[in-house]
Amino acid sequence: NAGVTQTPKFQVLKTGQSMTLQCAQDMNHEYMSWYRQDPGMGLRLIHYSVGAGITDQGEVPNGYNVSRSTTEDFPLRLLSAAPSQTSVYFCASSSGHIEAFFGQGTRLTVV
C-alpha cells in the first residue's frame, strides 16, 4: 500500500532557484493539499484541490503554485525560492470527512 508518496525527501536550494515537489496518491481521494510545518506554528495550508482541474489557495499561498491535472498527482512549485520557504512540506489526501493521509514530508532548505 503506497498511500501518499512525496519526493524528494530532502532538498537544498539556492535563493532564486525554482523546483517542484512531487506528490502522488493511489487511494482515489478527491481532496489533496499541501502544508508547511514550521516550529511552533503547526501545519499551515498552502494550497488545496477538491478534484482534478480545481485548485484553491490556503493560508500561506504566496510564492507557491499548484496544478491538478489528474486525481493522483498534485505537484507544488516554488517559483523563486526564498530563505523564508525553508520548512518541512507535507502533502495530504482525503475523501470527505474521513481522516487525511500524509506523505513522509520533504525537508527543504533555502540558502
- Interface residue list for another protein (CB under 8 A): 4, 31, 33, 35, 40-45, 48, 50, 56, 90, 92, 94, 96-97, 99-100, 102-105
By C-beta, is 80 or 95 nearer to another protein? Answer: 95
By C-beta, is 18 or 38 nearer to another protein? Answer: 38
CA 47 to CA 1: how far, in whole Å? 25
Question: Among 52, 50, 49, 51, which Cα is nearest to 65's?
Answer: 49
By C-beta, is 45 or 82 nearer to another protein? Answer: 45
**Does the bond joining 61 to the residue before it have cis omega, within 30 degrees of 0?**
no
